[in-house]
Amino acid sequence: MRFFSDNAAPAHPAVLDAMLAANAVDTAYDGDALSKAMDGAFSDLFETPVTAMWVATGTAANALALAAMVPPHGGVLCHRDAHIQNDEGGAPEFYTHGAKLMLVDGVGAKLDPAGVAAAADAIANDVHRVQPHALSITNATEYGLVYTPDEVAALGEVAKARGWGLHMDGARFGNAMAHVGCSPADMTWRAGVDVLSFGFVKNGGMSAEALVFFDQTLAADTLRRRKRAGHLLSKGRFAAAQILALVEQDRWLDTARAANAGAAALGAAAGARALHAVQANELFLRATPEEAAALRRQGFDFYDWAAGEVRMVVSWSQPADEIAALAAAIAAL
């Protein structure tokens, strides 16, 4: 029973069907009909003209987004526990050609305007100090917390006032949206987001994420950067097919709701053992090594996050009986 990572989950049947349908001959790269439909599909979803492109990984999406906003001699403000800082092998530094990640604290991997402003104010504006050019937030955060549109907008105001771009790492954007229930527009561009890494792989996809540019002036160079990074797939139609299948009929929200509901059940069982509110599809649980071992003996697979802490992730297709069994086991600790 895998609660290790939502990356272990299967792809959604609609995704598979769409890929099989895309197997007909069409032209190469992103010249095919499906790839060309991306802009329209996301413009509809976000109720504003956007440029949307597929990439193969969230790491590539994030790194391309940052490279679009930050020069090599600039910096990115982000949370100390951000995925871009800790889990991408230095991809932001690679794609930006050496921009500096500037780490800010905040509870549950969430940033707030005061903390961000204080971090920025500590940086003298002279040629000796790297200057911030963008703010990157993760929604849902690395600890499964969700920014509300108002919270994003407050950060967006800080960014705009200082001339920074605002990037949202939405590896679990679906989970965040399923929790809040607002419009995608309110969570993003209306709150000041310039570029969104819109994750699908953790949410029913196979190998395609969407990079959505609300600031469309950043898109043209990114198409060149994507090619230069080896991310212009030769048969892009199979990537577009995945994404479009999940956007259609709001399947991405259905899958996210299912995962969130499972995590909520685990959170309820965990009670005070939960280290963070369970708002998305992750539970961070206080557990001794002995308790963790006991759970594993019962057949549950999960991640040792830190000393005395484990992470359990519910995927979109997690069987109900697995969730019930794990909830019971947690409650019995």
Of 7-26, binders to its own copies (CB under 8 A) are 7-11, 16, 19-20, 23-26
Contact (Cβ atoms closer than 8 angstroms) between residue 8 and residue 315: yes
Residue ranges in 44-83 that form contacts with its own copies under rule CB under 8 A = 55-61, 63, 71-73, 75
97 binds its own copies (CB under 8 A): yes
Separation of first and last alpha carbons in the chain: 18
Among residues 279, 51, 319, the alpha carbon closest in space to that of 179 is found at 279
For the bound state, the minimum distance from the C-beta of residue 321 to its own copies, rounded and expressed in Å, comes to 14
Contact (Cβ atoms closer than 8 angstroms) between residue 197 and residue 170: yes
φ/ψ (deg, to 5) at 68: -75, -20
β-bridge mates for residue 313, sequence order: 282
Kindly report the three-state secondary structure assignment for every residue of 92-153: HHHHHCCCEEEEECCHHHCCCHHHHHHHHHCCCCCCCCCEEEEEEEECCCCCCCCCCHHHHH
Q: Build a one-symbol-per-residue string for 215-254: x at contacts with its own copies by CB under 8 A, - elsewhere.
A: ------x-xxxxxxxxxxxxx--xx---------------
Residue 206 CB neighbour total at 10 angstroms? 16
Q: Encoding tokens for residue 97? A: 């050609």
For the bound state, the minimum distance from the C-beta of residue 88 to its own copies, rounded and expressed in Å, comes to 7
User: Quick one: which of 18, 99, 329, 330 contacts its own copies (CB under 8 A)?
Assistant: 99
Name the segment binding its own copies (CB under 8 A); options: 99-107, 133-141, 158-166, 185-193. Answer: 99-107
User: Quick one: which of 37, 43, 207, 261 contacts its own copies (CB under 8 A)?
Assistant: 207
C-alpha separations of 256 from 2, 12, 171, 284, 322 in Å: 17, 12, 12, 18, 17
User: For residues 37 and 182, which CB has a smaller minimum distance to its own copies in the complex?
Assistant: 37
User: Quick one: which of 167, 179, 190, 202 contacts its own copies (CB under 8 A)?
Assistant: 202
Q: Build a one-symbol-per-residue string for 274-313: x at contacts with its own copies by CB under 8 A, - elsewhere.
A: ----------------------------------------
User: For residues 16 and 324, which CB has a smaller minimum distance to its own copies in the complex?
Assistant: 16
User: For residues 1 and 333, which CB has a smaller minimum distance to its own copies in the complex?
Assistant: 1
Burial class (CB in 10 A: 0-12, 13-18, 19+), 12: buried
Name the segment binding its own copies (CB under 8 A); options: 2-10, 156-164, 254-262, 291-299. Answer: 2-10
**Applying CB under 8 A, what is the total number of residues that bind its own copies?**
71
User: Quick one: which of 14, 34, 52, 93 contacts its own copies (CB under 8 A)?
Assistant: 93
For the bound state, the minimum distance from the C-beta of residue 228 to its own copies, rounded and expressed in Å, comes to 4
C-alpha separations of 231 from 18, 60, 110, 234 in Å: 21, 8, 30, 9
User: For residues 164 and 189, which CB has a smaller minimum distance to its own copies in the complex?
Assistant: 164
Q: Build a one-symbol-per-residue string for 310-329: x at contacts with its own copies by CB under 8 A, - elsewhere.
A: --------------------
Residue ranges in 107-136 that form contacts with its own copies under rule CB under 8 A = 127-131
User: For residues 154 and 313, which CB has a smaller minimum distance to its own copies in the complex?
Assistant: 313
Calpha distance 10→299 (Å, rounded) = 19
Classified as helix, coil or strand, 211 is strand
